[in-house]
Amino acid sequence: MPISNTYQPSAPTAKSGQGSAVSNREDLSNELAILAPEETPLLSLASKGKASSTYTEWTVDSLSAPVTTGVSEGSDVTSFSDKFADRARLGNYIQLMRRDYLVSNLQQAVTSVGPANIAQAEAKSMREIKRDIEATIASDKEMTVENGAGTPYGMRGLGKWIQSTAQATNPVPADYRTPSGSILSAAPTETTFNDVVGSIFSRNGEMNSLTLVANVALRKVVSGFTRATSAASSQTYHVNQDATSKAITFAVNLYDSDFGIVKIVNGNPSCMTASNGLGYVINPKYLGFNTLIPMGATRLENQGGGERGYIDVAGTLCVKHPQAHGKIAY
């Protein structure tokens, strides 16, 4: 017996018919899901400022070592010290970032999910460029200067700022480099992680709230803190929780160290792509992002194909005090 069903052919038949399936309406939700991580914790931690040149600079200074000896009664002042002799100038080049878009005239006219029009293309480009900035901040990228032959201005990433060794490009003076004790090249234990925080404290003497921005591999290691030791005794840390919530918490979001509280947040996995552990211990007080050209949209002439334009921003990372931060990379 003939029956109409959802799988009737939709292609024309010999009788020029297309079957019952051709009448079925599509079920397409108006909801659009973006299947990509968007958070930018490093950029969010940085204070925002303005740049006025392609090379942004700032100065650092230090105090002399404490003196415990006294001064003899009646002694005159016969020697003097230059209180600004230890000042140093640090800097970073700006980087111009751009995302373009084009939507045809027909696509702009039709009704679509999302929708897929010029306004949404513009908004999506803004979201993408924020991730571009985050990835550059989290990188080991060295600064570059425009040479007119294909090399653009490029800003230096945190991986280059937080290092204890001599630096060829825009060298940070030895007295202001991140000490080796603040850099960990192996998977952290509670002891070694506490050593990193202690090293940061020894340089600035501040019990500021630090933030560890960790990639997936490192976050897993930190969440294992205070559970079990690797010693032969295999000591285990026990935690009592209220069972009424019917939930067991294994995540470590705050680490209360001997030298201050460290907040643990997840880094964007698309921006911190190292296969092994990577994380930055950040003191937000000494991290900034200065913009020369604020993020904005520019629409270009429609030459017949459709609406087009681009989003751009020019800015740079300012690591105001390299000794105020730490790094874990293994």
DSSP per-residue letters across 251-269: ---EEEETTEEEEEEEPPT
Percent of the chain having pLDDT more than 90?
69
Joined tokens for residue 266: 């997840």
**Distance (Å, rounded) from C-alpha 263 to C-alpha 253?**
6
Joined tokens for residue 298: 């520019």
- What average pLDDT is seen over the chain? 88
Tell me the Cα Rg of the chain.
28
Judge whether 138 and 280 are in contact, CB under 8 Å: yes
Does residue 226 surpass a pLDDT of 90? no
Judge whether 289 and 199 are in contact, CB under 8 Å: no
* Contacts with 186 (C-beta within 8 Å, 6 or more apart), sequence order: 192, 330
Q: Which residue has the tokens 């921005």?
A: 213
Joined tokens for residue 29: 């939700």
Whether residue 115 has a cis bond before it, omega within 30° of 0: yes
pLDDT at res. 275:
87
* Phi and psi based region of residue 304 (left: phi greater than 0; alpha: psi -120 to 50; beta: remaining): left
**Distance (Å, rounded) from C-alpha 95 to C-alpha 41?**
19
Question: Which one is predicted more confidently, 204 or 180?
Answer: 180
pLDDT at res. 33:
67
pLDDT at res. 241:
63
pLDDT at res. 23:
72
Question: Which one is predicted more confidently, 118 or 170?
Answer: 118
The mean-pLDDT minimum among 13-17, 53-57, 207-211, 263-267 falls in: 13-17
